[in-house]
Structure 1
Amino acid sequence: MAQSDSDDGMDEFMDKFKSQRYKNAFTENDWEEEFNKIPMFMKTAPEEIDPQKYPELACLQSIIHDEDRPPEEQARCLKDEGNAYFKEKNYEKAVVSYSAGLKKKCGDQELNAVLLTNRAAAHFYLGNMRSALNDAAAAKKIKPDHLKALIRGAQCCIELRNFPDALQWCDEGLKAHPTDKKLLELRATADKHKRAAERDARKAKVKEKKLHGQKEALLAAIKDRGVKLFQSMGPRQHGSEGEEEEEERSSAAIAQLSLDGLNSQEVTGAQVFLDDQGLLHWPVLFLYPEHQQSDFISAFCENNCFVDHLAVMFEELPPWDTDRKYLPQNLQLFFEDVEKEKLYQVDPETSLLRTLQHKRFFVKGGTPSFIVLVNGSSFWKQFLSGKKIHRL
């Protein structure tokens, strides 16, 4: 009896291919998909490892996470797993794997330093600069001359715009690696940015000082003219307010005046300014209650009279003036004393400064405002009815 060439029946198994097709073979249409299920040939790892779909990969994963193995071996496998995710640019999962490796608390400090620097790299590419810096610092504490940790720490400090610390990381690194090209490049970059930041800080300080000087000059000019700024001083006491108390309220408003308080909140945010000739220019608001309209002059020179601006503003009548009655010669100006519930009529031939210097005029929100009415109109009669009117 002739002895078979194979004890396991392989010859007989192979002979069958001469007469019939192998039923479980990959087809021309699905061989790439099937190969991608085999760990050795996978191009990318699946997001979730299903044991039914990826039995080989699930088996390998169970080996990696086998708790019966020594902590060092488990940590090393988790490091390799993190590296695989890192190469695929799946930095979130890389962080998870490196963190799991660190939790094994193995006694191999060299391995722990690698896990920390690798996790720092993953955090860096995720944009988590603080976490990356913390990991780099922890790795440096374990191994002070760890090149990758030193480089990563310097990079993080540069990204965080902490250039003095970046220089310190580079200098520490260059003590151990004096010719390292990357550290030398990082140091040059950090030094360049540090010098630029210091230069910008000096410029900002000079600008701030200049603005402060302009502010002081502006506040002095307003105070010297006796212009009063409205400021809420809390509830008033019952009874009439004396001259001294009024003066105190005005002085307090001037003392607490700031540039922010001089911004017009009503319209455009324009602000009073002092020109080269020492003249104040105010943003001024004109209100037309009859039509619920308004006009805004961003820079009304204090020496100009109202009639000059009204002539320009109403050279052409506005579209809302359908009755064509808002002619400069027909207009009357008023300002309101809210506290005493009075209206003061302003002569259009009067300058803005003289009006602002009136004892009952208070500039609100940095913007003097005036009510404009058509003399003798029905709305004029209705609006002024029952109100106390004083003429300047």
Structure 2
Amino acid sequence: MFSNNNAQLIEMRDRSAKLQKEKERDERKQQGRERKQKSEHEKILNAIRERNIHLQKDPSIDIFDISSNPAGSCVQLNETDQTLTFPAVFLYPEYAQTDYVKTFHENTRLIEQLSVLFESLAPWDEEGKYTLDRIAIYYEDRREYELKTVSSDKTLLEVLQLPG
């Protein structure tokens, strides 16, 4: 122990104690944020399970990893009405083009979303091939490694419940 007469040592001790308290506070805050995030993720996963939505079984795919999404978004659960929204990518392979939808509501029919995307002629579609009455919609069945046709009247939820 040191003498209380040494002001410099007392100041160092007090500063060290203050820094230690700040560090412990910051660690508690971080742990609280992590617990909250884990709880939110668990709520989303439970909602996905309850709806019988099929997720890829690839362990390298994290549905909560926003760094892998173009607009930095991921699956969200609306706490008010308990509905899910998903980021979605629409591919137009003939033109090597894509559309990214940051929040595609689970109860929105595909045709409704496509109506927004094709409100006007896409600049890359010079021949006017991509119109609502001519668009074919597919999903990838990863079990059978093939594309399957989907009705535009289906909701996003209905598509996500399809096998594969």
Confirm or deny a common fold (TM above 0.5): yes
TM-score (norm 1): 0.39
Matched length: 161
Q: State the alpha-carbon separation in 1 of the partners of residues 69 and 7 from structure 2.
A: 59
Q: State the alpha-carbon separation in 2 of the partners of residues 220 and 309 from structure 1.
A: 26
Q: State the alpha-carbon separation in 1 of the partners of residues 13 and 7 from structure 2.
A: 10
Corresponding position: 1:182 with 2:4:
no
Q: Which residue of 2 aligns with 1:326?
A: 130
- Of 147, 151, 160, 1:347 maps to 151
Q: State the alpha-carbon separation in 2 of the partners of residues 329 and 213 from structure 1.
A: 43
Corresponding position: 1:272 with 2:75:
yes
Q: State the alpha-carbon separation in 1 of the partners of residues 116 and 12 from structure 2.
A: 63
Q: Which residue of 2 aligns with 1:203?
A: 29
Deviation of residue 281 (structure 1)?
0.7
| Secondary structure at 1:295 match in 2 | strand
Q: State the alpha-carbon separation in 2 of the partners of residues 228 and 330 from structure 1.
A: 28
| Structure with the bigger percentage of strand | 2
Q: What pairs up with 1:248-259 in 2 under 5 angstroms?
A: none
Deviation of residue 266 (structure 1)?
5.4
Residue type of the alignment partner of 2:49: K
Q: State the alpha-carbon separation in 2 of the partners of residues 201 and 266 from structure 1.
A: 29
- Of 43, 47, 65, 1:221 maps to 47
Contact 2:141 2:163 in 1 (8 A): no
Q: State the alpha-carbon separation in 2 of the partners of residues 267 and 208 from structure 1.
A: 24
Q: Which residue of 2 aligns with 1:192?
A: 18
Q: Which residue of 2 aligns with 1:307?
A: 111
Deviation of residue 300 (structure 1)?
0.6
Q: What pairs up with 1:53-202 in 2 under 5 angstroms?
A: 172=1, 175=2, 177-202=3-28
Deviations 1:361-389 (A, max 9, x none): xxxxxxxxxxxxxxxxxxxxxxxxxxxxx
| Secondary structure at 1:228 match in 2 | coil
- Of 256, 260, 282, 2:86 maps to 282
Q: State the alpha-carbon separation in 1 of the partners of residues 48 and 13 from structure 2.
A: 52
Q: Detail structure 1 runs of 4+ shifted over 4 Å in the superposition.
A: none
Q: State the alpha-carbon separation in 2 of the partners of residues 266 and 330 from structure 1.
A: 28
Q: State the alpha-carbon separation in 2 of the partners of residues 223 and 347 from structure 1.
A: 23
Q: Which residue of 2 aligns with 1:261?
A: 62
Deviation of residue 316 (structure 1)?
2.0
| Structure with the bigger percentage of helix | 1
Deviation of residue 218 (structure 1)?
1.1
Residue type of the alignment partner of 2:85: H
Counterparts in 2 of 1:205 and 1:352: CA distance versus 1, 3 Å: same
TM-score (norm 2): 0.88
| Secondary structure at 2:102 match in 1 | strand
**What 5-or-longer segments of structure 2 have no aligned partner?**
none
Residue type of the alignment partner of 2:36: K
**What 5-or-longer segments of structure 1 have no aligned partner?**
1-171, 233-255, 361-392
| Secondary structure at 1:299 match in 2 | strand
CA RMSD of aligned residues (A): 2.0
Residue type of the alignment partner of 2:47: A
Q: Which has the larger radius of gyration?
A: 1
Deviations 1:73-93 (A, max 9, x none): xxxxxxxxxxxxxxxxxxxxx
